[in-house]
Every structure is written in structure tokens, then in C-alpha cells.
Structure 1
């Protein structure tokens, strides 16, 4: 009886506590007591948190709440918190059945909560319904409040399959509201765009970004399972989250002995499990990983090390020998840089260090902050001396979250990364994004192995792949039937994607290439196409959470200079003239140096770099437009254009091409058929065996410029 009495007393106490807490929850709010009881239970049982509702709580007049419904809990969580009298319904079925209700409620100054399908990339049918809802909201001058229920995807009531979202008994539930907005004068597709953008903004606001890279990986391990296979490389090594983080913890203790907190440490390694563990171990040790481009040559590597004041470089003897980097190593040693080889560290690790790693894999070796410099990447040097770009954990995790708000990814995916980790796209898309979101990552050490990579893809069976146009064209030409059949998506960046490249992958493998746009300073993704937002010839729409400004350019009517701001934009630069000193970004805006056009729906079309325009006969002529013309005339070849000083016309154009024979008459005919100005026709054409490329796949314009100048000098002899 004593036990029974004790149980009754505990249950009675819990009931009284619930009732009293609910009464307090109701006091000073618009909730009914029934809502307060439900809300209190949700907070206690699920640990539910509500954020961002202050702005919407003061709204008067008609309001539409909209949420991409992730689970059966969503409606319970929202009914417990939203004002009484809100009409709740799912956005599905025949619109004629619910649109009269929508218009009637809004006309009566009422409120609606619309539950949209769960996917980040809405279907055409969903976008059409968004447009109808948006039109009704515009007519009623209603305010729209986008919502997101974070964590519900992983709850027992989830609408996602277990293959795409692992279940957790007690996921952290957060109900988050984005800032309210009105439709204003939007019409047609723009109405649906605003609705989808609002949902993306709510999802981004719900993301947990205030953590370090190391903490993000630990949280991912907890969410997706420590025993989940997450990482493999071409050497045959496979690692689970737990195995990877044990290795990270063991290495980080060693790195902390020679890596001062906050001081960049160089990393010169190919795509491999060891490279990923090294980067994360430095994050655990509180030292930024400075990713050195080992393909750039001895002088460039030494210059980068000097710019970031790097005193130590982590590398591998086997890699140095295999990649024939002895000259680069000699140059680094001559400049006073210490090289530490992973093989030596591995030999020195004792059994007791491994035991500590097993016990402490969830904790960093040294405390750091999410706002500290986490990664240093170097600009390509395609237009001058490389600068060190300082990125914080928040920059990188924000960019990963922004991508997750625009493209559907899940733990069912496998990402095949051939882009080097010293490339910003390779680091973010090919390491941070997959590891933070439970996507299996398969690494390959070099993007230049055109004939080997398709066969590796056949074995790995990836669903997602990243690349540049140059690399993708090489793989497509070398691939056999079935090599890329497992892919559902390719995301391309760094350079324009040629129609021929798109055709090869779509016709042969049924794979759509989604073109994006970015830069190292933005961690790097700025815009990307998706299946819901797709426009050929564009690089997509700006990612959620970002802002932009456009400045007129003298001599141009069809393009403006783009500046960007957002949580993914860098902390600042390490500059060659001030080694080791972080020059912070002044204000929130970063001038991209790109000339763009933006259409009514926000699709961005790149017209070229400001530095890649020539002034000919008083008009601004895009070198990128000349390259695009050459691609259309000779689609099987590679091309690059530069401008040289000309005393008569100001500047003159030189085109380098691998097409033979290359005559101006073909370009003139192509320009006329496309309605392009003949100012695009180059003054001279140089036939070359191959267009010089940087290790990242970008065109090496300094080298091309040198060749063009040398060619002009030879012609004058």
C-alpha cells in the first residue's frame, strides 16, 4: 500500500503541477486554458520550444500561417499555440474544394493555417496551389507567416520514410516562425515563389547554427547514429561517425601540441578519409585548417603559407611522393615552414591515446567558438595573387543549411566528391554538407582521372555528384552506359555549364545538371537552380537568408555589379601585404565583382566578371560572352578569351581554342545567327592543344594572358 500511495502522490503532484503551470502559461496570453494545457504537455513531454512569434503575435486582420508538414505532431503543436479560431487544413486535393473557404475566411478577417507537403522542392501541383493561395492573400491584403517545425522529421510520427529520416524517441522539437510578409504586387509564378521562399526562410531560421564544425559533426552522429557508415575513400577505408570522431579526437590531442589556438595550420592532402579527419581534428583543437592548393606550384604554395602566416603544414610522405611535390616541399621548408607527416604521428600514437579517444570522442580537445576562424581557403589566383579567405563555423554551417533549404537531401543519399578540399565547393559541398546531414560521402583523390572516375561511380553508386563543366564533360565523354545511372542530381559550379555537357548527361544517363553560382568568400554557394526553381542559362535564385544590391556599370545597359550579404559571407581576408593579419569585412556587403542580370522571378544570369570586360570602341564587351559564342559555334572544343591593350581601339580580343581549324568566319556567322554584336569577334585566334586549368578546374587566365602576349610578340617578329 505504501508503494501505491507513493505512486498516487507522485501522479497527483504531477497533475497539480501541470494544471498550475498551464494556468501560468495562459496568464498574459491569448491562449485558452485548454490550449495552455496542451502546450504545457508538449513542452514537458517533447521539450518543444517556440521561437520567432513576437512579430506575428501583434498582427491584426487576415493572416495565413503556412508550414511544410513534417509529421503528425505538427498540427498538435500548432493548434496548442496559434490563436483560437484558426482554420487548419492540408494543401492537397482539388483546390476548388478549399479555395472558397480560404477566400471566405480571409474576407472575414480570419486566420488560416495551411499544411503544405513536406518536401523542400515543391512539385508543380504544389506551386500551382501556392499561387492560388497567394492570389487570395493579395486580394485580401493578408499577412503570411511561414512556420517550420524542426525535429519533427525525426519523430515517431514523421511523414518521412525511415530510410530518409531516422527516428528518435526524444528529438529536439522547435516551432519557428519567419518574419511575416505580404504579397504586394506579385503576380503569376512570383506568388508561388514568395510562399516557397517563406518556407525556406522559416526552415533556415530553425537551423541550429551556433556551434563549431566539430560540434556539428558530433550532433550529426547522435542524430543519424554513431554506427552509421558515413565516410569512404579510394583506398578502401570505411568509417562510421563514431570511428571517424574517435580518430579526430586522437589526432586533435597531438595537433594541439604544436598548433596554437586560432593560428592557421596548413593542410596539404588529397581527398581521403585522412584529409577529412585532419580538418576536423584541427577544428577540435581550435586551430583553423588552411587548405593549400598543392596543384598551384611551389611559388604559389609558399605565397599562400606566407599570407596566412602558416608555420606548420600537415601532409603525407606517401602523397608527396605519389604527387611529385618535392619542389613544393623544399620551397616551404626554405621559407621556414615545418612539415608534419601524418605517418609519423600515426606511428607515435599509443594504446592509451586510443582509449582516451574512445572515451572522449564527443568532446573537443580545446574549446573554440562558432565565431572563430575555422577554415582558411585561398582564392584561385585566376586574376591576381591569391588571398586567404577566413570562414567561421557559422559561415560554413549556414551555407550548408541554406543549401538544405533549397534542395532535398537525406540520409538515403550518397555523395561522390571528386573536387579537392582546397576548392571551396569541394570543402562545403564535398565534406561539411554531407557529414552534417547524414549523407554518405565517397571521396576520390583527383578530378582529372576522366577515364577512371566513371567506373568508380558505377561501384560507389552515388545519388548526388558535384563538379565543374570541364570535369563533367571529361567524365561524360569517357563514361560507359550505366556508369552514372544511380545519380539523381548533379550540381555544377565554378564555370558556366555548356549545353553540350547538359545534353550528354541528360541523354545518356537521364541526369539533370543543376547549375549554381558561388565564390570562396560566400562559403561558397550564393545561388543554385533546383527542380522547383529551374531556368536554363541562369545560375538559379539567391539562397535563403541572403541579400543583394545591384550597382550600375558605366557603358553597360544589360547588367549590373552584384554585392551580397548573408550569414555565409566570410569574416574577412588574409592579405599578402599583411601576413597573418585578418582584414575584416567592412560592413555586411561583399562586392562580388560579377556583372549580372536578374529577372522578375529572381533568376540570376552571369554576364561576366567586371575585370573580364573589354572596352572596345567605347562599348563594354564581355569576354565571357565571346567564350559562350565560341562554345555555341564549336561545342566540342574548349575556349578562353582575354583582352590585350590596343592603341587604336583601347583593347582587342584574343581567343584561345582547341578547335582546329578555327576561323573568324565561323564566329561571324554564329554571331549573326544569334543576333549578337560583331564587337564580340576576336582580333586574333590562337589554336592550342589544351586550355590551361587550375587545380580547381577553373581556367588559368594569368597563364592564358601570358600566352596571348607571347603570341602577339611572336607575330610581330
Structure 2
């Protein structure tokens, strides 16, 4: 009570509390003594007749003789007589009656001699006659007004009038106590940063809104009363309205006058030194993401001169009061009590705009993940549970006709794990290479390595042997798992031993099959995890090493942990609202982070199924796979989507419900054409290998819960997924930038990689104070949507001004139109220039328009002169370099540009 009170009144409260407590103890002690004081004499006749009266005349005479003799014995000199001696003189049938009579005499005689009779002593002497002993002692002495039980019952009943009076006198405090008790019963609440709440004076709490219980949780965790700004429509009956008034809530509705009135009330409360709380999103999130903040926050602060304390409620997504699983309330809680953490950030004095407040709340979300007591379930453990859940239902399939149920997938993975341990991999061999396309076999191979707690390194088969060998050396890979049929297409000379999957077919013994089947179909998941040693996996243990695309240099090994991948798959499930009838069409290779995390582990760690094809360029087979497997989710790049427009029949994609494009900017004309042909509009997401990979995504219209919140904004890459924070800083100074200001994009959250394999210095350059420097130039709008402007490496500094390659490239391709395959006709890069620092270079496919014509078209589209390449900076090429992931090979493009420019200079 003291720490919840003003400092100047704590002494008075302590004195009053002590007085009330000790006075209450004194009053109750006196009352107990009075009510228990012996008042009414007992009576022998009041003893139960069944115990008192002998059953027969003969036994009655015997009892009377024994009682008389026992009474006379007490008057004789010497030791006091023993009840047992005289009890032996009566027949067995009269033993109980005789004991009652003899005890009554002995207690009376002892009383005259001031010798106390102790009931417990007689219970020990006559253990078979406890009822008779209790009856005698109950009447032997004077009886009090009430029994001890009666006294306590009376005292308890006496508290009811006091309770009613207190409820009437202090209704707010009483209701708060009831709510506090209920809340702490249902939730296990941990507070972080509570010292940021001012002990006195006004402040405005700005919190994210995850569930219906948010306000109650904040109310019971604060030492000071909080006035909440709440929607009046939620108080539509008398009882709720009474509760709202009791809590002194500030009701607000959509009417202009009601909004103005609520703002005035909140501002006045702040001026009076009260704490006011607002949920600036204006509603409960339907995806777990932090939504845009309403500008009314700044109106409340006008003239109030109080700080804003950002608040992040962590862990409430998934509770019965959140919108998880697409509904409020009607779901079972996952845990009881439910763990929740509330994070208070440092006060913000005089915020410039609501964007600054939102950024602070979102940053708390990324920070909250680090302090969670329960790490996410490791992907291989989650896979075991999902496969057992769907042991008899299809889990993965591919275009070769292979199809595995959850049980079959787990059994094959366990068997393959046994075979690798028995004849291929040594105990100290942590990193294992894989050269396999997306298919059931490669899913089994990756899963087997994860179940064996080894690090899977999926190698890029679209690059040269030298690049692959550089990756092999980085990860110290000794064995590479591959397929003879697959390797026939390549001429690799690798510095590691190749292990062909086909060779294992004859090595599987009956024991392997029996043990694998027993573990997959009969062994409980927790037991199997213990047997495999998976229970000891730590959150920061490395699950995989994925090598960067090398689009701007030599590939680096990105170490992704179990927590990285687990939180990313959870985010996909949460934001896209995956359904158990969803089928992911996996065409991105597993050496691509989107392919590995989203196409494979999301399938293995959620209720969806996966269907794979080995090449994203084989549009006809992809269409057929989607049609036969009833695919609903497609992950691709804009380059591949363009080829699908021309090569895939409309009916093949009839079942598609979600199409997400990444790796490069998604043009609006491509979205329009795709939607017109297939009836589903692609949305854009963003991520990098170093971020596991997902950072943000627009929620597809079909998966948006309702029209209450905006979850998609075309031209953006969406909002950050839950627990991930984004901020924009100046590329040179590192100073934070405001809303809609272009700068360097930094990301913080559980998706940030552990680091580059064996390259600590490179890791330190890109991870600064927990923030990953993406190298992408972007801005964040007022509602939190991220807009990618370009890569830092795709800017040229010409005459002191930054010129974005992507903007020039997009305008050129609009002028030229797509090629026959639906791809780009021109790309923009740069070479050094002695006079202006850099020069824009355009590499293009054979085109009919001249450079002069294109330059005029760029001018007509409003581009500044400095953005327009010179006439002599256009070069024709046979093809534009593309990586296996579908992204432009920027390294080769720049090399070609330098080669052509140097040749022109020499010519």
C-alpha cells in the first residue's frame, strides 16, 4: 500500500494501518474470550442415551454396582482408583455404558481435588471408545456460549456488513482489487522498465493494442490510477457504462464533437497530473503487427507539457482475448496462467510527431523478444509434432509424383539420419553440404540433418565450381549430399566428397525400418525429442548456413539459428493466417533463404502442406503441379511471375489464393496483368538472407480479417512482421530520420542472423547495437509501411547528388515494354567518371528505339537531367545476367558495363 501512495502520506498510512491491525487483533481476542467463557453447566442426562444406558436389566445392575464401588474408592485413602479396574467388573455388553458412568464420576472427583482432566489422555487409554469420551467431556464442565467454530462463523458473518460498506464507500478500489485478483490468477505478468512510469505528475501512456485484456493488465500493474481513452461503442449497456464511469474512463466515438470532447478531457486530466492511456492504433490488431497510429495523440498533448511513455504488451497474441486464429474469445487458452510481459520505454518529451511515438513502441517490441523467458520451439522439435499430428495426411509432394504423409516424412528422415550417422558422417562433422533441387528428397535430407543437430548448408548450383568450393571452404564441409540424376546436368569439380542419395536405397535394413516406424508413429513426441537430444537445443544454436547470392561480391555464409527460423515461420503463420488446407507451391531453391525458411520450414512447422518443383523456370510443370496439388500459396519473384503470365494456363492457377513476390520490386503493371489473368493479385514482401529472411509483407486481401484495418499498401513492402522493428537513418551520419524521409533501412528483431561464418569483422559492420544495416535505401510512411527506394549499391553519386538506378531502370522498361518472356529489357548500373564521379550505364537487349528517343522519353516522364544516361552510355547485350534466385546479378552487370565502357574508350 505504501509504495502505491504519495511519499508525503506514507507515514500516516503506516500508522493508520498498524492501528487498525492491532486494534482488530485486540477486539477479536476479547470477543473470543467472552464467547468462549464457561457459562452453562453440563448435564449427565444430556449425554446420548445409546451411550449412557445399559442394554439389559442385568447389565444395568452391574453398571450401578461398579459406579457405586468406584465412587466409594475415591473416598478411601491412598492412590486414586483406576477406571480400568472397575470396568472389568461389568459384562462386555455394558462396557460403553459403564465407561460413561465411571468417567463422569472420575471427572467430578478430580474437579473437586483441583486436578484437571485431560481429554487426550483418555483417548490414549481407551482408543476404541472415542465417541463415548467426547460425549462425557462435552457435558462434564461448564459450556461456553459458542463453540470455537461458532465464534469464527459469527466473525465471518460480521464481515459482510463491513464488506458492503467498503464497496459502497470505495467502489473503484474494490473493483480494482477484484480485477487485480482475477488478472493475476489468469495471467503471469512480468514488468520491464516500470521505473519509467513517473511517481507523480501527468503522463500519457501510448500502448500497442493486442487484445481485449490490454487495459485491465495495464490498470493492475500500475501503482497509480490510469484513465483510459476507450471507444464508447464498447459500453453499450448500463452495467458496462457503470464500470466505465467507475474506472473514470474517457469515452470516445467517431462523431467529431465526441472526439473533441474526449481530447479535451484527456488533456485536462494530464494537466491535473493524472496518468492517461491511449491505444493509438484505434483498434485491436488483427495480425499481431503494430498498426498505424492515429494523429489524435498529438492533439491530446497540445499544451499539456507531459511526457509520453511508450508501452509494448508482449505475449498476448494467442490469448483468448486476441484475434489469433481469426476470432476473439472462442478458443482455449494455450497456458494457465498465461505468461505476459509489459515493457515501458523511456519517456519521450515533446515528440515531433506521432511517427516518433510509433517507432518507440515498435522498437520496444523487438527488445521484448530478447527478454522472453520461453524461447520458441526449435524447428526440428516442431516438425516432429506436426508430422505426428498429420501422420496419415499428406505433408509434402513434388512434381515427380512423390508424396509423403507426415508420418512417412518423419520416418524417412529418421531412417536417413541413422544411415548418415552409421556410414557417412563423423561425430565432429557439424556442417554438411547439400546440392539438391526443391523436392521431397531434399526436404527429407534437410530434416534428417536438423534431427541430427547438424548444420545444413544448401549450396547454390547455379554458380561456378570455384564459387561453390569457396563456400565449402568457408564452412569446412567434408561431405555434400546430392543425387546422381541431378549431378548429370552439371560439371562441377568440388573439394568435398559427394554422397549420392540413390546409394542409400540398398543400405536400409529391416531394423532401420522398424525403429524408424516405431519412432515416427508410436513414440510420443517429447520422448522422441529426448532420445534424439533435441531437448537440449538452444535458441542461438545454428540451424543452417545460407550463402548470400553474391550479386554484389563473393558469397558470405549467413548463420541462421533455430530461433531465427522459428520466429520467422511463426510470423508467416500469424500474418498470412495460414489454414490447414493451404498448399505452398515451393519453386524457390533451398539455397535461397525464402526457399529454405518459407517454402520448407514453414511447411514443416505449421499445418500447411508443401508441393515442390525443381526449377522456377519450368512454368508449364509449375502450372501442372499447382493444378494437381490444388496449390493456394505461391512464393516467387517478379521475374518468374512475368514468365508465368505467358506460359501458364489460367485454369492451372485457379486455386491460388496468395501470391507473394520478393527479391526485387514488384511493378504495378505486373500485378495488374497477373490479377487480370489468374484472378489473384500478387503482394510484395521484403527480406534478406541475413534476416532469416522475412522482414515485412503486405497481407493478401483474401487473408485480411476485415476492412477495419489497412494491411496492404501497394508500392510498399508492407509493415514489419510482429516483433520486428524498422528504422531509417541518414546513410552517412546515422541520425534517425522522420516519416517519409529516404535513408538507410535498419532492422532489429529475432530474425537478425547470428553473424557471418568466420567473418567477425564483416558481422560487426552490418550489425550495430542489434540493428542490421540492410544496405537498402527506404522510407517508412506515417502508417508504418516500408517503401524500398533502392540499394545503396544501386545509387550513383553524380555531381554530389544521389541518383537511384532503380528509378531510371523502371522508367526505361516502361518505355520499352517487357521482353518476349515477360522480363526486363534494360538494366542500369554505373562506372567511375573522372569529371562527375560516376556515370550511368544502360545494358539492354536488342531494341528498336534509339538512345536519343529513350532519353527524350525519360525527360517527358519528368526525370531530372542528372538522372538521364548520356547517348554513349547505352550498350546492347545478348542477355541480362540473372541469378538462380531470380534476382539481377549486379556483380556481373557492373563487370559487363566496365568492360563495354573501357572498350569504347579505347576505341
2:722 is equivalent to residue 537 of structure 1: no
Distance (whole Å) between structure 2 residues aligned to residue 576 and residue 74 of structure 1: 43
Structure 2 equivalent of residue 312 of structure 1: 479
Structure 1 equivalent of residue 827 of structure 2: 640
Q: Using the TM superposition, give the Cα deviation of residue 597 of structure 1 relative to its aligned residue in structure 2, in angstroms.
A: 3.9
Q: Secondary structure at the match of 1:676?
A: coil
1:131 corresponds, among 276, 287, 294, to 294
2:839 is equivalent to residue 652 of structure 1: yes
Is residue 196–residue 347 contact of structure 2 (8 Å, CA) maintained in 1?
no
2:875 is equivalent to residue 693 of structure 1: no
- Identify unmatched segments of 5+ residues in structure 2: 1-172, 235-252, 701-709
Is residue 587–residue 635 contact of structure 2 (8 Å, CA) maintained in 1?
yes
1:537-557 deviation per Cα after TM superposition (whole angstroms, max 9, x unaligned): 333344443354523459xx9
Structure 1 equivalent of residue 725 of structure 2: 546
Change (3 A) 1:669 1:162: closer
Bigger mean CA deviation after superposition, 348-357 or 189-198: 189-198
Alignment of 1:107-126 (within 5 A): 109=274, 116-117=283-284, 119-120=286-287
2:293 is equivalent to residue 293 of structure 1: no
Count of aligned residue pairs for this structure pair: 664
2:754 is equivalent to residue 571 of structure 1: yes
Alignment of 1:303-702 (within 5 A): 303-321=470-488, 324-325=489-490, 327-328=491-492, 331-332=493-494, 335=495, 337-357=496-516, 358-359=518-519, 362-363=528-529, 365-366=532-533, 367-404=536-573, 406-530=575-699, 532-543=710-721, 544-548=723-727, 550-553=729-732, 559-574=742-757, 588-617=770-799, 619-637=801-819, 638=824, 639-646=826-833, 650-658=837-845, 660-679=847-866, 680-682=868-870, 683-702=872-891
Q: Using the TM superposition, give the Cα deviation of residue 697 of structure 1 relative to its aligned residue in structure 2, in angstroms.
A: 0.7
Is residue 68–residue 199 contact of structure 1 (8 Å, CA) maintained in 2?
no
2:372 is equivalent to residue 213 of structure 1: no
Change (3 A) 1:511 1:90: farther
1:120-170 deviation per Cα after TM superposition (whole angstroms, max 9, x unaligned): 1799xx97xx738756865686756454665756x7x99777999997686
Structure 2 equivalent of residue 269 of structure 1: 436
Distance (whole Å) between structure 2 residues aligned to residue 431 and residue 497 of structure 1: 23
Distance (whole Å) between structure 2 residues aligned to residue 397 and residue 338 of structure 1: 31
Is residue 662–residue 685 contact of structure 1 (8 Å, CA) maintained in 2?
no
Is residue 515–residue 528 contact of structure 1 (8 Å, CA) maintained in 2?
yes
Q: Using the TM superposition, give the Cα deviation of residue 699 of structure 1 relative to its aligned residue in structure 2, in angstroms.
A: 1.2
Structure 1 equivalent of residue 417 of structure 2: 252
TM-score, normalising length: structure 2 = 0.63
TM-score, normalising length: structure 1 = 0.78
Query: Of the two structures, which has the highest relative contact order with CA contacts closer than 8 Å and spacing of 6 or more?
Result: 1
Larger Rg: 2
1:39-86 deviation per Cα after TM superposition (whole angstroms, max 9, x unaligned): 5764xxxxx54344673995666657664348xx99999999889998
Is residue 661–residue 682 contact of structure 2 (8 Å, CA) maintained in 1?
yes
Structure 2 equivalent of residue 233 of structure 1: 398
Q: Using the TM superposition, give the Cα deviation of residue 422 of structure 1 relative to its aligned residue in structure 2, in angstroms.
A: 0.5
2:448 is equivalent to residue 281 of structure 1: yes
Is residue 544–residue 561 contact of structure 2 (8 Å, CA) maintained in 1?
yes
Distance (whole Å) between structure 2 residues aligned to residue 180 and residue 542 of structure 1: 20
Distance (whole Å) between structure 2 residues aligned to residue 707 and residue 165 of structure 1: 60
Is residue 209–residue 398 contact of structure 1 (8 Å, CA) maintained in 2?
no
Q: Secondary structure at the match of 1:385?
A: coil
2:210 corresponds, among 63, 68, 73, to 68
Q: Using the TM superposition, give the Cα deviation of residue 503 of structure 1 relative to its aligned residue in structure 2, in angstroms.
A: 1.7
Q: Using the TM superposition, give the Cα deviation of residue 272 of structure 1 relative to its aligned residue in structure 2, in angstroms.
A: 1.4
1:628-679 deviation per Cα after TM superposition (whole angstroms, max 9, x unaligned): 2212212314122232345555543332223522421232223212221233
Q: Using the TM superposition, give the Cα deviation of residue 571 of structure 1 relative to its aligned residue in structure 2, in angstroms.
A: 1.6
Distance (whole Å) between structure 1 residues aligned to residue 484 and residue 283 of structure 2: 54
Q: Secondary structure at the match of 1:319?
A: helix
Q: Using the TM superposition, give the Cα deviation of residue 391 of structure 1 relative to its aligned residue in structure 2, in angstroms.
A: 1.3
1:332-380 deviation per Cα after TM superposition (whole angstroms, max 9, x unaligned): 1xx2x11122222343222322333332564163454321221111111
Is residue 248–residue 278 contact of structure 1 (8 Å, CA) maintained in 2?
yes
Is residue 324–residue 574 contact of structure 2 (8 Å, CA) maintained in 1?
no
Is residue 131–residue 189 contact of structure 1 (8 Å, CA) maintained in 2?
no
Distance (whole Å) between structure 2 residues aligned to residue 442 and residue 538 of structure 1: 29
Q: Using the TM superposition, give the Cα deviation of residue 585 of structure 1 relative to its aligned residue in structure 2, in angstroms.
A: 5.7
1:684-706 deviation per Cα after TM superposition (whole angstroms, max 9, x unaligned): 32334432211111112333344
Q: Using the TM superposition, give the Cα deviation of residue 713 of structure 1 relative to its aligned residue in structure 2, in angstroms.
A: 6.4
Distance (whole Å) between structure 1 residues aligned to residue 624 and residue 538 of structure 2: 42
Change (3 A) 1:182 1:440: farther
Distance (whole Å) between structure 2 residues aligned to residue 569 and residue 86 of structure 1: 38
Distance (whole Å) between structure 2 residues aligned to residue 465 and residue 561 of structure 1: 30
Q: Using the TM superposition, give the Cα deviation of residue 217 of structure 1 relative to its aligned residue in structure 2, in angstroms.
A: 2.5
Change (3 A) 1:387 1:113: closer
1:82-140 deviation per Cα after TM superposition (whole angstroms, max 9, x unaligned): 899987977867645996789758865477798945621799xx97xx73875686568
1:375-415 deviation per Cα after TM superposition (whole angstroms, max 9, x unaligned): 11111112221111111112222333445565443435332
Distance (whole Å) between structure 1 residues aligned to residue 296 and residue 405 of structure 2: 45
Distance (whole Å) between structure 2 residues aligned to residue 178 and residue 59 of structure 1: 15
Structure 2 equivalent of residue 7 of structure 1: none
Q: Secondary structure at the match of 2:294?
A: helix
RMSD (Å) for aligned C-alpha atoms: 4.6
Distance (whole Å) between structure 1 residues aligned to residue 586 and residue 370 of structure 2: 25
Is residue 345–residue 360 contact of structure 2 (8 Å, CA) maintained in 1?
no
Distance (whole Å) between structure 2 residues aligned to residue 34 and residue 468 of structure 1: 55
Is residue 174–residue 206 contact of structure 1 (8 Å, CA) maintained in 2?
no
Q: Secondary structure at the match of 1:593?
A: strand
Is residue 377–residue 390 contact of structure 1 (8 Å, CA) maintained in 2?
yes
Distance (whole Å) between structure 1 residues aligned to residue 683 and residue 649 of structure 2: 22
Bigger helix fraction: 2
Is residue 562–residue 594 contact of structure 1 (8 Å, CA) maintained in 2?
yes
Alignment of 1:70-219 (within 5 A): 95-96=254-255, 109=274, 116-117=283-284, 119-120=286-287, 131=294, 134=297, 138=301, 145-147=311-313, 150=316, 152=318, 173-179=338-344, 185=351, 209-218=375-384
